[in-house]
Amino acid sequence: MIIAGILDTFGGAIEFIFQRRPSDAGTVEVGGLGEIVNLAGNHFAVSFLAIVISIAVSVPIGLWLGHLGRAELLAVGVANVGRAVPALAIIGFCVAFLGTGFRNLAFALTLLAIPPILTNTYVGMRQVDPELVDAARGQGLSGFQIVRQVEWPLALPTIFGGIRISVVTVLATAIIAPAAGLDSLGTPIFSEEIYGDEGVLGAAIVVALLTLVTDAGFAFVQRLVTPKGLKVVAREKRRPRLMPTSIRRVQHP
Amino acid sequence: MSLIAQSGGFLRDRTGDSGCPSNNGICLGWMVDHLDRYWSPFLEHVVITLIPLTIGFAIALSMGLLAHRQKWLITPLTGFTSAIYTIPSISSFLLLLPITGRGNDTAIIALTAYTLVIIFRNVITGLAGVPQHAVDAARGMGLTNRQLLFRIELPLALPEIIAGLRIAAATTVGLAAFAYLAGAGGLGANIDADIDFRGNVLVCGVILTLLAATLDFIVLSIQRLLTPWRRAAA
Amino acid sequence: MTRSSLRILFALLAVIVLGAFVAACGDDESSSGTSTPAAQPAKSGDVPAEEKAANKIAPVDGAADVALTVGSKDFTEQFILGEIYSQALLAAGYKVKKDLDLGPERIADAALRKGAVDAYPEYTGTSLTSAFGVKVAEVPKDPMEAYAQSKAEYEKVGITSLPTTPFENTYRLGITKKTAADIGNPTKISDLAGEAKNLTINGFPACRQRIDCLLGVEKTYGLKFKKFLPGKQKFQILNNGDADVTFVFTTDGELSSGKYVVLEDDKKVFPPYNISFLIRDEVAKKLGPEGQKVITDVQKYMTAEIVQELNARVDLDKQEVEAVAADYLKQFGFTS
Domain membership of residue B18 (yes or no) is no
Judged by CB atoms closer than 8 Å, whether chains meet at B13 and C41 is answered as no
Quick check: helix, strand or coil at residue C276? strand
Radius of gyration of chain B (CA): 24
Q: What is the tens place of the pLDDT at every residue in C40-53? A: 555 667 788 888 88
Mean pLDDT of chain A: 80
Domain spans of chain A? 35-194+219-238
Domain membership of residue B25 (yes or no) is no
Query: How many angstroms separate the CA atoms of C205 and C207, rounded?
Result: 6
Q: What is the pLDDT of residue C154?
A: 95
* Residues from chain A contacting residue C106 (CB–CB below 8 Å): 192-193
Judged on CB neighbours under 10 Å (0-12, 13-18, 19+), B35 is exposed
CATH top-level class of C48-168+272-331: alpha beta
Mean pLDDT of A217-239: 68
Mean pLDDT of C128-148: 88
- A90 in reach of chain C (CB within 8 A): no
Query: How many angstroms separate the CA atoms of A84 and B175, rounded?
Result: 8
Query: How many angstroms separate the CA atoms of C75 and C104, rounded?
Result: 9
Q: What is the pLDDT of residue C311?
A: 93
Q: Supply the angle between the helices B39-69 and B74-86 in degrees, to the nearest 10.
A: 160
Of the candidates B89, B169, B209, the beta carbon closest to that of A172 is on B89
- B10 in reach of chain C (CB within 8 A): yes
Q: What is the pLDDT of residue C3?
A: 53
For the cut 80, the answer to whether the pLDDT of residue C33 exceeds it is no
pLDDT more than 90, % of chain A: 17
What is the count of structural domains for chain B? 1
Quick check: helix, strand or coil at residue A193? helix
The pTM of this model reads: 0.80
Between C94 and B227, the more confident residue is: C94
Q: Which domain holds residue B191?
A: 37-226
Q: What is the pLDDT of residue B11?
A: 82
Mean pLDDT of C271-290: 93
Report CA C94 to chain centroid distance, whole Å.
25
Interface partners of chain C (CB pairs < 8 Å, 3 or more) are: A, B
Phi-psi region of A101 (alpha: psi -120 to 50; beta: other; left: phi over 0): left
Enumerate the CATH 3.40.190.10 domain ranges in chain C, comma separated: 48-168+272-331
Q: What is the pLDDT of residue A27?
A: 65
Q: What are phi and psi of C261, to 5 degrees?
A: -110, 130
Interface test with B, best of C44, C236, C238 (most B CBs within 10 A): C44
Between C296 and A71, the more confident residue is: C296
* Residues from chain C contacting residue A105 (CB–CB below 8 Å): none
Q: What is the pLDDT of residue B232?
A: 47
Which pLDDT band, with edges at 50, 70 and 90, does A86 fall under? confident
Query: How many angstroms separate the CA atoms of C270 and C287, rounded?
Result: 33
Domain A35-194+219-238: give its CATH architecture.
Answer: Orthogonal Bundle (1.10)
Interface partners of chain B (CB pairs < 8 Å, 3 or more) are: A, C
Query: How many angstroms separate the CA atoms of B169 and B165, rounded?
Result: 6
Of the candidates A27, A92, A181, the beta carbon closest to that of C229 is on A181
Q: What is the tens place of the pLDDT at every residue in C218-263? A: 988 999 999 999 988 888 889 888 899 999 999 998 898 888 999 9
Which of A115-124, A190-199, B162-171 comes out lowest in average pLDDT?
A190-199
Judged on CB neighbours under 10 Å (0-12, 13-18, 19+), A15 is middle
Residue C264 per-residue DSSP state:
B
For the cut 80, the answer to whether the pLDDT of residue C28 exceeds it is no
Mean pLDDT of chain C: 84
Q: How many CA atoms lie within 13 Å of A136's alpha carbon, on the beta-carbon side?
A: 17
Measured CA angle at A216 (ends A214, A218), to 5 deg: 70
Interface test with B, best of A88, A117, A246 (most B CBs within 10 A): A88
Mean pLDDT of B2-30: 75
Which pLDDT band, with edges at 50, 70 and 90, does B55 fall under? very high
Q: Which CATH superfamily is domain C171-263 in?
A: Osmoprotection protein (prox); domain 2 (3.40.190.120)
With contact defined as beta carbons under 8 Å apart, do A155 and A250 qualify?
Answer: no
Domain membership of residue B6 (yes or no) is no
Q: What is the tens place of the pLDDT at every residue in C166-211? A: 999 998 999 999 999 988 899 999 988 888 899 999 998 888 888 7
Domain membership of residue B232 (yes or no) is no
For the cut 70, the answer to whether the pLDDT of residue C31 exceeds it is no
Q: What is the tens place of the pLDDT at every residue in A138-195? A: 888 887 888 888 888 888 888 888 898 899 889 999 998 988 888 999 988 888 777 8
Query: How many angstroms separate the CA atoms of A110 and A70, rounded?
Result: 24
Query: How many angstroms separate the CA atoms of A157 and A174, rounded?
Result: 26
Between A8 and A81, the more confident residue is: A81
Judged by CB atoms closer than 8 Å, whether chains meet at B194 and C317 is answered as no
The four Cα atoms B24, B25, B28, B29 give a dihedral, to 10 degrees, of: -70
Quick check: helix, strand or coil at residue B114? helix
Which pLDDT band, with edges at 50, 70 and 90, does C23 fall under? very low
Quick check: helix, strand or coil at residue C58? coil
Mean pLDDT of B202-220: 91
Mean pLDDT of C29-42: 43
